[in-house]
Amino acid sequence: MIMVQGEVSGKKYTEPFSKGVLARSLTRAEMDPNKAYTFASMIEAHLKKKKVDLITIDELVEVVSRHLKEEDPEVVEKYMLWRRIRQCKEPLIILIGGASGVGTSSIAFEVANRLGIRNMISTDMIREVMRKIVSRELLPSIYESSYTAYQSLRIPPPPELDEVLIGFRDHVDSVSIGVEAVIERALTEGISIVIEGVHIVPGFIREDLVNKENVAMFVLTVSDENIHKGRFYSRCRQMWARRPLKRYISYFWAIRRIHRYIESQAKKHNVPVIENIDVVTTIDSIIKSLTKTSVKGGREVAEETE
Ligand SMILES: Nc1ncnc2c1ncn2[C@@H]1O[C@H](COP(=O)(O)OP(=O)(O)O)[C@@H](O)[C@H]1O
Ligand SMILES: O=C(O)[C@@H](COP(=O)(O)O)OP(=O)(O)O
């Protein structure tokens, strides 16, 4: 049997070589699942032929990338990027924001999947919990949607100010307290997590949290209004969708204003803005950006995920 030796927090461990585990990491680098399994079997055969009975993870990665270079040069680049992110000692907290409908939940799911992160929460859920704790009288804006929050303002803003944005800011300001609590808990427990939704707005979450090396924020945009509108149609087509299309379409004008505001906040706070047209391109830019910024130095693995 071939044993693989890894290291967690300075402690060495060994486990049997698994074609399934290797194949899964290759599919995360976008290799076709069937091909990934065949490739993993080929690596196993190669190690057996070389009479290897113990191999370190680093050596295994070297063997895999050497063979991958011949097989599929594109996958090797993605595989190495994925490895670098996994080599971070700290938990990874990924925040994905954007106006309703730009694709934060779809992209968060894909990113979590690609990185093997098992925890994901939407800010809508955080808001829902907060609604059970705080009364409507005390905090009326969180009982609204982000794009209708302006209707709950107790004192109408002066006419020169945009009431939609005043309402939105109020709404996000409150939900951000819940978002901060989730980030703090994840940091304390050492849990990697993806948090997504319209309440992830640059400038609203405490700086001491967002400035941490292992906390990364992204803002998604869809510049073309028609494409953005189309996303509501595609979302509501799903059989289980319970969100009324009419509501999003009738407030689409407000959602677009919020879209512009979130984008401007991202630019002001140097948060990467990613145009979410093609899912694969969006995910690739998030993963690339993560290796450049939040995972500085490529440190030793905290294998939470496998
Ligand atoms: N890059 C993309 N290309 C095509 N459709 C997308 C893309 N991102 C999201 N969608 C689709 O757009 C709709 C809205 O996406 P969703 O993730 O629910 O948005 P949000 O969570 O930001 O409101 C869904 O039907 C989703 O499948
Ligand atoms: O407040 C909001 O803008 C949306 C955000 O949800 P997503 O569209 O981003 O999933 O929630 P709603 O109140 O419509 O359920």
Ligand nearest to the CA of 172: 2
- CA-nearest residue for atom 12, ligand 2, is 145
Ligand nearest to the CA of 102: 1
Alpha carbon of 176 to those of 138, 156, 196: distances in Å?
A: 16, 23, 12
Tell me, in angstroms, the distance from the centre of ligand 2 to residue 233's CA: 14
Ligand 1 pocket residue status of 146, Cβ below 6 Å:
no
Decide: 101 and 255 in contact? Cβ < 8 Å.
Answer: yes
Question: Distance between CA 170 and CA 125 in Å, rounded?
Answer: 18
The ligand 1 atom at the shortest distance from the C-alpha of residue 106 is 17
Ligand nearest to the CA of 103: 1
Ligand 1 pocket residue status of 285, Cβ below 6 Å:
no
Ligand 2 pocket residue status of 99, Cβ below 6 Å:
no
Question: Distance between CA 186 and CA 179 in Å, rounded?
Answer: 11
- Strands 11-16, 193-197: pairing is unpaired
Ligand 1 pocket residue status of 229, Cβ below 6 Å:
no
Ligand 1 pocket residue status of 247, Cβ below 6 Å:
no
Ligand 1 pocket residue status of 5, Cβ below 6 Å:
no
- CA-nearest residue for atom 11, ligand 2, is 145
Ligand 2 pocket residue status of 198, Cβ below 6 Å:
yes
pLDDT (tens, 9 = 90+) of the chain, 306 residues, equals 999 998 876 788 999 999 999 998 898 888 889 999 999 999 999 999 999 999 999 999 999 999 999 888 888 888 887 777 777 778 899 999 999 999 999 999 999 988 889 899 999 999 999 999 999 999 999 999 999 999 999 998 999 999 999 999 999 999 999 999 999 999 999 999 999 999 999 999 999 999 998 999 999 999 999 999 999 998 877 766 677 899 999 999 999 999 999 999 999 999 999 999 999 999 999 988 987 754 444 333 333 433
